[in-house]
Structure 1
């Protein structure tokens, strides 16, 4: 299963881990994915993986 948000397509980003001695090694920043149940238009439910930031935005827009 891919580490991507099903709605926004947000995926892993690449950056550097920087130590106190300023040594740099590559690392990945993973999205904060949550599995949520979504009811589709035809009445069926489906589990999708959505980023937590996307859930916040969806909750904000539903108000």
Structure 2
């Protein structure tokens, strides 16, 4: 499964590791994903991968 938030679509980003000598090598920034259970309207529960920022937003709005 992809490292992608199911609500916001946030995924991996690329960038550089920068050493003290300013040597640059490629690296990947991964999103902070959490697996949570949510209950749907029909009463069933489902596990989704959601970023920590979206989880905070959900808790704030509900």
Question: Do they superpose with TM above 0.5?
Answer: yes
- Matches of 2:10 and 2:48 in 1, distance apart? 13
Off by >6 Å, runs of 4+ in structure 1: none
Indicate the residue corresponding to 1:54 in structure 2. 54
Indicate the residue corresponding to 1:14 in structure 2. 14
The TM-score with structure 2 as length reference comes to: 0.94
1:20-62 Cα offsets, whole Å, 9 max, x none, are 1100111000001000001011111000000011111111222
The TM-score with structure 1 as length reference comes to: 0.93
Structure 1: stretches of 5+ with no match in the other structure: none
- Matches of 2:44 and 2:59 in 1, distance apart? 21
Structure 2: stretches of 5+ with no match in the other structure: none
RMSD: 0.7
Indicate the residue corresponding to 1:27 in structure 2. 27
